[in-house]
Chains A and B, each alone.
Chain A
Amino acid sequence: FSFTMSHPYGIKPLGMCYIEGNDQCRRNGLGNFSKLNDETLLNIFSYFGGKTLAKMAVISKAFYVFSHFEELWKVQVIELLTSKNDSPTINFNKSWRSTFISLCSKHPPPLHNPIQIKNFYSDVLYQPFLCFNSPVKAEYLTTENIDRVSDLSRDKFITMYEIPNKPVILTDVVNRWKAAGKWDEEFLETFHGEMKVHAGGVNFTMKSYLKYAEEMKDDVPLYVFDKKFASKNQSLRDDYFVPEVFSDDLFGLLGDERPDFRWLIIGPKKSGSSFHIDPNGTSAWNAVIKGAKKWVLFPPSCVPPGIHPSTDGLDLAAPVSIMEWFMNYYQTHKQKNSSKFKGKMLECVVKEGEVLFVPRGWWHCVLNLDFTIAITQNFVSRVNLSYILNFLRDNPSNISGLPLSERPLLYEKFLGELKSFVEGKNSSDTILRNEVRRTVENHRKKSKTERKEKKEQA
Chain B
Amino acid sequence: VKAALEDTTDDDIVPISNVKGEILRKVLDYCEFAVGEGKTKTEEEKKKWEEEYLRLDHPTLFQLILAANFLNCQSLLDLTCKNVADQIRQKTPEQIRAHFNIKNDFTPEEEEEVRRENAWCE
| Residues of B with C-beta under 8 A to A58 | 93, 106, 111, 114-115, 118
Q: Is the interface of B mostly helix, strand, loop or mixed?
A: helix
| Residues of B with C-beta under 8 A to A54 | 118, 120-121
Which of these, B89, B110, B114, B120, contacts A48 with CB under 8 Å? Answer: B89
User: From residue A49, how far is it (CB to closest CB) to chain B in Å?
Assistant: 8
> Would A60 and B103 be within 8 Å (CB), given that A35-B66, A36-B65, A37-B69 are in contact?
yes
Interface pair A32/B120, CB less than 8 Å apart: no
**In the bound complex, how far is the Cα of B77 from the Cα of A25, in angstroms?**
26
Interface pair A44/B84, CB less than 8 Å apart: yes
**In the bound complex, how far is the Cα of B116 from the Cα of A57, in angstroms?**
11
Interface centre among B62, B88, B119 (most CB of A within 10 A): B88
Instruction: State how many residues of chain A have any CB contact under 8 Å with chain B.
Output: 39
Taking the complex as formed, is A33 at the interface, i.e. its CB lies under 8 A from any CB of chain B? yes
Taking the complex as formed, is A455 at the interface, i.e. its CB lies under 8 A from any CB of chain B? no
- Chain B 56-84, CB-CB to A under 8 Å as 1, else 0, gives 00110010011001000000011001101
| Residues of A with C-beta under 8 A to B103 | 28-29, 31, 60
> Would A110 and B119 be within 8 Å (CB), given that A28-B103, A32-B62, A40-B77 are in contact?
yes
Interface pair A60/B69, CB less than 8 Å apart: no
**In the bound complex, how far is the Cα of B67 from the Cα of A37, in angstroms?**
12
Interface pair B89/A52, CB less than 8 Å apart: yes
| Residues of B with C-beta under 8 A to A44 | 81-82, 84-85, 88
**In the bound complex, how far is the Cα of B103 from the Cα of A193, in angstroms?**
50
User: From residue A384, how far is it (CB to closest CB) to chain B in Å?
Assistant: 37
User: From residue B92, how far is it (CB to closest CB) to chain A in Å?
Assistant: 9
| Residues of A with C-beta under 8 A to B89 | 48, 52
Choose the segment among B15-23, B24-32, B94-102 that binds chain A (4+ C-beta atoms closer than 8 Å). B94-102
List CB contacts (< 8 Å) of A73-122 with chain B: 101, 104-105, 107, 109-110, 112-113, 115
Taking the complex as formed, is B104 at the interface, i.e. its CB lies under 8 A from any CB of chain A? yes
Determine the residue in chain B with the shortest Cβ distance to A29: B105
14 interchain pairs (CB within 8 A)? A25-B105, A28-B105, A31-B103, A33-B100, A36-B62, A36-B69, A44-B85, A48-B88, A51-B121, A58-B118, A60-B102, A64-B114, A109-B120, A113-B117
Closest 3 CB pairs of A and B: A47-B85, A31-B102, A31-B101
